[in-house]
Chain A
Amino acid sequence: MGKEKSDLWMAISKASTTGFTILCSIGICMGLGYAFDHYMGTNPWGLLIGGIFGGFLGLYGVIRQCM
């Protein structure tokens, strides 16, 4: 398999996982935020901050994967 073809397949594989990367990152961080709120009584700040942090983490993961 040529280098160009190989790069194309790798790009397709990475592109196909972009949405899931962002979704899972937001889900994990919101889950942790929710658990933090539940035990510390900080509702809804953990959930909110977790969601924002998850979005940032997802974008960071996608950018790192694509670079």
Chain B
Amino acid sequence: MELHAGHHHVVQWMGISFNMDTLYMTWLVMAIIIVVTLLATRSRAMVPQGIQNVMEGVLEGLTGQFKTNLGNQWKFLSSILFTYFLFILVSNELGLIPSPHILASPTNDINTTLGLAISSSILVWIVGLKVKGIGYFKHFVQPFKLFIIINLMEEIAKPVTLAFRLFGNILAGEILLELLYALVPYVLPIVWLAFSLAIGIIQAFIFAMLVTSYLGMTIGDGH
């Protein structure tokens, strides 16, 4: 039995490897998000209905979380955090749609999750510099100078942790789903599919929450 989850169609170009299936799926995810957000905002009503209602419900739930953790900065940061959430949510769920090995989650590729995590770390540094200026770098030598090594290593560990958690959860879910389809083709895969749908939402939420937490630590006095 050959497993398809986690296997990629690799193309070499100018000495760089490209996972083409991940690229196609990433473009598909972006297209889905653009279409959905356009549909949700095209003819907005005071009493929201249909897709506008769903989007407003999701974004209002997240806004409450952002406001609590980011204080005055939430308006400036909310759009990128919403984007992270929507991108990861659609990516996670895309791989669960039954298809003859055509659709796969872009988040089952470590390159995607690492890219998202590194971009979130860069965002934290930019926000830190914007809010605190050059004084932001003081936290690297706190509580005392010897901690600079530990603090620098922690800055590397943060995106790696974010990336591996998301990648591991999604890839493991897809592999197990494929195995269950092969071993017990009735009932059990449906149960796991429902569970994976919930996992996809939770993982997208956790990623957005952890980035919010890192931003909150940077903006707040505790950092």
Contacts and interface: CB of A to CB of B under 8 A. Distances in A.
Interface of A: 1-3, 6-7, 9-10, 12-14, 16-17, 20-21, 23-25, 27-29, 56-58, 60-61, 64-65, 67
Question: What does DSSP make chain B's interface, helix, strand, loop or mixed?
Answer: helix
A1 B222 contact: no
Interface residues of B, number: 24
Contact of B157 (A9, A16, A24): A24
Contacts of A65: 213
Interface of B: 61, 64-65, 68-69, 150, 153-154, 156-158, 160-162, 164-165, 168, 205-206, 209-210, 212-213, 222
27 contacts: A1-B61, A1-B68, A3-B68, A6-B68, A6-B69, A9-B65, A9-B205, A10-B69, A10-B209, A10-B212, A12-B206, A13-B206, A13-B209, A13-B210, A16-B206, A17-B161, A17-B165, A17-B206, A20-B165, A25-B154, A25-B161, A27-B160, A28-B153, A28-B157, A61-B154, A61-B157, A67-B222
A56 to B, nearest CB: 8
A58 B213 contact: no
A58 B209 CA distance: 20
